[in-house]
Amino acid sequence: MIDLPDIQSRAEWVFQTYEAVRPRLPQVTFDTTTPQTAPSLELVAAPFALILFDAYGVLNLGETAIAGAAQRIAALRAAGKSVMVVSNSAGYPKSVMMDRYARLGFDFTPEEVVTSREALLQYLSTSPPRHWGVMLNPAYGTVEFENQHISFLADDPALYDQVEGFLLVGSDGWTDHRQSLLIDAIGRHNRPVIVGNPDIVAPRENGLSREPGYFAHGLADATGVAPVFLGKPFDSVFELALARHSIPFDPARVLMVGDTLHTDILGGGLIGASTALVTGFGVHAGADPQALIARSGIVPDFIIPQI
């Protein structure tokens, strides 16, 4: 976990850390210069046919639903809107994610939930076969990776040298020692690094967890390797979501709702969608969103405290 003294320090650290890796993120020009503000999503949703939601910081914090989120999803459905989750959650199988949503009171179908893990699996299905070393808690075994030759990375230095590439999928259980082993192995022999979750951090009930993107950027800084990122703000996960609809959506009628400027808002802008920044619970909570927008040049169409 990221240990910072207060919510304002946390928000500033997150912002500065994402800004430091900005050259590796998509370059997007925003037409909007001044976001509209509203007390909730209800007041801005009318023009949109499809609404894409980030998960952590928008629908839930860790294993806890944000108050009113499930009711808002139900109200949008009743108003005739299509809804989907587009999440960088990659550390566990889709079935686990669906069980969590049901437990938290959401009624999403599997087709309505698109994850960067799915974008990773799609990428691997069209890539040359390799022996992959995987950053991933082995608790779920090889579920969804049955067609891949993978070994779970732990504390054996020899394995880091044996594998032909690295998949950074879930950081639960990853340690600074293992990160050092990875850096040393890449330094000795550069190999592909594929990142299944580009998030640097994720908001939890008790703070911020370090996610695969945190370690991927650290690896890139230390070794010069150029990771392949699959997930927000990169377009592959959005393309996967939009492809699930038989009728193409005009980007002007798509709204991406998220809590992070550098993933949700930047990614939404990349695909030409409108965007809404949620400020009440996620990584920017406690900061002045207008100041962060001015400093970054990443401009949502709307600012709302919650959905």
CATH number of the domain within which 127 lies: 3.40.50.1000
- The per-residue pLDDT for range 21-47, each reduced to its tens digit, is 999 999 999 988 899 999 999 999 999
The answer, yes or no, to whether residue 143 has pLDDT greater than 90, is yes
| Residue range(s) defining the domain that contains residue 174 | 119-229
Q: pLDDT at position 204, please?
A: 80
The answer, yes or no, to whether residue 205 has pLDDT greater than 80, is no
Task: Characterise 79 by phi-psi region: left (phi > 0), alpha (psi -120 to 50), beta (else).
Answer: alpha
Cα–Cα distance for residue pair 210/205, rounded to 1 Å: 14
First-residue to last-residue Cα distance in the chain:
26
Q: pLDDT at position 249, please?
A: 81
Q: pLDDT at position 3, please?
A: 73
The answer, yes or no, to whether residue 8 has pLDDT greater than 90, is no
Cα–Cα distance for residue pair 237/119, rounded to 1 Å: 6
DSSP-derived pairing of the beta strands 274-278 and 302-304: parallel
Q: pLDDT at position 243, please?
A: 93
**Averaged pLDDT, 291-296:** 97
Same-domain pairing of 152 and 88: no
**Averaged pLDDT, 80-90:** 96
The answer, yes or no, to whether residue 18 has pLDDT greater than 90, is yes
Crossing angle of helices 235-242 and 116-125, rounded to 10°: 90
Cα within 13 Å of Cα(202), Cβ side: 26
Same-domain pairing of 123 and 91: no
Q: What is the DSSP letter of 2?
A: B
DSSP state string for 6-33:
SHHHHHHHHHHHHHHTGGGSPP---S-S
Same-domain pairing of 110 and 187: no
- The per-residue pLDDT for range 151-189, each reduced to its tens digit, is 999 999 999 999 999 999 999 999 999 999 999 999 999
Instruction: Say if 70 falls within a structural domain.
Output: no
Cα–Cα distance for residue pair 167/165, rounded to 1 Å: 7
- Under 8 Å between Cβ of 169 and 90: yes
Same-domain pairing of 145 and 187: yes
The answer, yes or no, to whether residue 233 has pLDDT greater than 90, is yes
- Under 8 Å between Cβ of 234 and 218: no
Asked which of 229, 248, 282 is the last residue of a domain, the reply is 229
Q: What residue has token string 């109200």?
A: 75
Cα–Cα distance for residue pair 86/222, rounded to 1 Å: 30
pLDDT bin (cut points 50, 70, 90) of residue 6 is: confident
Instruction: Say if 38 falls within a structural domain.
Output: no
Cα–Cα distance for residue pair 44/33, rounded to 1 Å: 17
Cα–Cα distance for residue pair 89/304, rounded to 1 Å: 23
**Averaged pLDDT, 65-82:** 96
Comparing 2-11, 257-266, 290-299, the range with the smallest average pLDDT is: 2-11
Same-domain pairing of 162 and 220: yes
Q: What is the mean pLDDT of the chain?
A: 95
Q: pLDDT at position 218, please?
A: 98
How many domains does the structure of the chain reveal? 2
The answer, yes or no, to whether residue 62 has pLDDT greater than 90, is no
Task: Characterise 80 by phi-psi region: left (phi > 0), alpha (psi -120 to 50), beta (else).
Answer: left
**Averaged pLDDT, 42-65:** 95
Asked which of 198, 229, 260 is the last residue of a domain, the reply is 229
Cα–Cα distance for residue pair 300/30, rounded to 1 Å: 8
**Averaged pLDDT, 215-239:** 97
CB within 8 A of 38, min separation 6: which ones? 44, 302, 303, 304
Q: pLDDT at position 248, please?
A: 80
- Under 8 Å between Cβ of 62 and 90: no
CB within 8 A of 15, min separation 6: which ones? 261, 284, 287, 292, 295, 296
The answer, yes or no, to whether residue 226 has pLDDT greater than 90, is yes
**pTM, to two decimals:** 0.96
- The per-residue pLDDT for range 98-114, each reduced to its tens digit, is 999 999 999 999 999 99
The answer, yes or no, to whether residue 96 has pLDDT greater than 90, is yes
- Bridge partners of 258, per DSSP, are 277
